[in-house]
Structure 1
Amino acid sequence: MGTGGLIVTGAAALLPRDATPPVTTPREAAREAAERELSKPAYHQDDPGLLQRALDRLWEWLGDFFDRAAGATPGGGLGLFAIALLVVLAVGALWWRLGTPRRTATGASALFDDGPRSAADHRAAAEAHAAAGRWTEAVQERMRALVRSLEERTLLDPRPGRTADEAAAEAAASLPGHAADLRAAARAFDDVTYGGRAADPDTYARLRTLDTTLARTKPTPTP
C-alpha cells in the first residue's frame, strides 16, 4: 500500500464512527435567542437611567434648536443672544411692574371678611397698619372704612358679600362726581388683596384722602 493510501486510512480512523451533520439554527430563532441573552440584567448594569436618558434627549433637542435658531437669526449666535437678553429683560420688567403672583384671582370675594365693625373701627385699624408700615393691610382697612361709612350714611344698603367693585359702582349713583375715584379705590383693593400687588404709602394716601372727601360730600339725590 502506498503512502497516499496510508494517509487516507489514518484520516478515516480519526473520524467518529457515527458522525452526524452539524446542527444549524434558523436565522429568526438565532436572533430571538441573541435578544433574550442580551436582555439579561447583567448586560445592562452600567446603562444610564431613565432620567439620564431623558436629560440627554432634552440637551440634544435644545442643542439642535439653538443651532437652527442661530442659523436663522441675523447675526448668528450673537443675534440669538441679544434676542434672549431682551426677552429676559422684558420678563423682569413685567415681574417688577406686576409684583410676585402670590395668588391668582378667579373672582372677587366679599369686601368684609369678618364681623360687622364701624367705619371708625376700620379707620383706626388702617391708621395703625400705616404707622407700622403694613401698607397692604392699611389699604384694605381704609377701603372697608370708606364703604362702611357710606353704609352708615345710608348711601349704601348694608349687604353681606358685597365686593369692592360692587360697592364702588353702587356708590357712584349717589356720588357721581367721585365715580372714577371710587373705581380706582376698588381696583387698588382688589390688586393688593387678590392680585398679589404690594401696596405703598401713595396708594394708602389716595384712599385716605378719598375717604375724608366723601365724608364731607353731599350725595346727589337719586330716584
Structure 2
Amino acid sequence: MGDASVISEIPLIPDGEQAREWAVRELADPVYQAAQPTWFDRAAQAGRDALASLFSPDVAPEWAAVLALVAAILAIAVIVIAILVWGLPCRTSSRSHRSGELFGDIDYRTAEGLRAAADAARRRGDWDTAIVLRFRAAARGLDERELVDLAPGTTSRQFAVRADALLVPGSAEVRRAALVFDDIRYLQRPGTEAGYGLVAAADSALARVVPAASAEPAGVSAP
C-alpha cells in the first residue's frame, strides 16, 4: 500500500507552469540549436522565395520589376558571400586529371621533384635510377608546360620524336637520351655517368625551350 500511495502522488500530467519549464529545458538542448537554420540558409531561402514569387499570378505587374530587381540583388549577394567564404573556384584545365603514367609506370611527382630525385641518385652513384628519373623529368616538364601531351601508353620513342621537334631542326638529342633510357628500363643494361650526362643535357635543353605564343601542344598518342 505504501508504494501505491507514493506512486499516486506523482503527477502524471504536469500543470501549465511545469510544462513550460520542461519545454524550455528541452529546447535548450544543443541538438536543437544545431538543427536551427543558419543565416546563410535563411538568406538562400529568402532568395528562392523572392524568385518564386515572380511567377505568382497574384503579383501585380508594377511589382514584378521590383521583385525581379530584389531577386537579382539577393542572387549577387549570395554569390559574393560564397566567394568570400569559400574563395574563387580554381581554374581547371584538360591536364588537371593526369593519370600519372610515365612510360609504363605511375609517378605523380612534378618535373622538379623528379629532377631532385634523379640528382640524389646521381650523388650516390645509382646511375640506373638517375637516368630513368631524369628522362621522366624531361617528359613531365614538357607535359606541365603543355608543349607535349603525354597520352596514356606513350612510349619513350614517341615522346622523343615530338620533343626533338621543339629543338633546333635536325636535332636527335632527345632520341639519343631515349635510347639510353630504353637500354636501362627494358634491356636491363647498366647505366653510366656518361649516359646520365646525355639525358641531363637533353632535359636541360628542353627546359630552355620557349614556345611560340600561338603554338598548340604537340599530341603524343599510343600506337
TM-score (norm 2): 0.47
TM-score (norm 1): 0.47
The structure richer in strand per residue is 2
Larger radius of gyration: 1
The structure richer in helix per residue is 1
